[in-house]
Structure 1
């Protein structure tokens, strides 16, 4: 008795080799060009610029911009090695990311300068108020001495 799945028993139709056209050698798979680093850079650059104009997020703009800058440079090097095809994307992303770093540093310096100036102004107001209150206290109800006390603006 023969088994239905016995390979020796099965007969497959045999087709003659086709000589109908020229033989084309199989092409090697082409390494797909990858522009992902440049695209990531061109996305992170504007995000860093937006973060730089929001108070207290300048430090985050510097971090995002630095990452975008590094990715943009890597994208440019990939273009030079012929592994990516869009140098414009990587170049614009690198420039925008560098601007994000600069804007983030500027935003942090401007914020902390403003805070320091506010502190100095409040100290000055406090000192003027102290001298005015000391003058009023020393007048002890004398209206002539009290009229000489002035609060300097």
Structure 2
């Protein structure tokens, strides 16, 4: 039994899609234009907020935290405004960045307050130097101590017989010196002027006013 050859049957061409009115046949429909979201403000705000939180942890970098936090709030509000106008897609990021920026600003303000208090306390500690109590005998200065001229002691010329132990040192304004030995109890004299401010002495025998 012989097999009959298959007859060729032409296929019908598929119908073309309908052409819109006014379009040229064979021309593709242009793709719809979608603008790129402008998310720069929101991203900038988030970066500044994170940086502000890092600076806010350390009190001495409080000014930087305050600056970064304030800028983060500003850029976050600008980014939120863009999102509401439909030209940005990161409205949630802008809100989060604004909240974090406000927290960073609070930490920065706290750090600034602590820094100012520390500087003020350091200045008070420098001014509050210990003073030696003066003896009851007038016109005499102990051999060890720091004395304010005009308050603790009066200006004038004072004399010491030398060191109480090994070294006798003094400082009165621009006049300062050191005695290693008393060299036969000759000692030394020093003139304390009203403008000297402070007279300091260490390791000396008492100073007695002679003029």
TM range (shorter): 0.5 to 0.7
- 2:46 corresponds in structure 1 to 42
1:85-137 Cα deviation digits (max 9, x unpaired)? 2221000101111111221121011111112123223333x1xx22x264596
- 1:75 corresponds in structure 2 to 79
Given the alignment of the two structures, is residue 54 of structure 1 paired with residue 58 of structure 2, yes or no? yes
Q: Could you say what secondary structure the match of 2:60 adopts?
A: coil
- 2:18 corresponds in structure 1 to 22
Determine which of 88, 112, 119 is the counterpart of 1:115: 119
Given the alignment of the two structures, is residue 91 of structure 1 paired with residue 92 of structure 2, yes or no? no
Give unmatched runs, 5+ long, in structure 2: 1-14, 21-28, 144-211
Higher helix content, 1 or 2: 1
Structure exhibiting the larger radius of gyration computed from Cα positions:
2
Q: Distance in 2 between matches of 1:41 and 1:102?
A: 16
- 1:102 corresponds in structure 2 to 106
Shift in alpha-carbon separation, 1:135–1:121, aligned structure 2, 3 A: farther
- 1:31 corresponds in structure 2 to 35
Higher strand content, 1 or 2: 2
Q: Distance in 2 between matches of 1:139 and 1:35?
A: 75
Could you list the structure 1 runs, at least 4 aligned residues long, displaced by more than 3 angstroms after superposition.
22-25, 133-140
Offset at residue 55 of structure 1 (A): 4.5
Question: How many equivalent residue pairs?
Answer: 119
**What RMSD in Å do the two structures reach over aligned CA positions?**
2.7
Shift in alpha-carbon separation, 1:58–1:139, aligned structure 2, 3 A: closer
Q: Distance in 1 between matches of 2:89 and 2:104?
A: 25
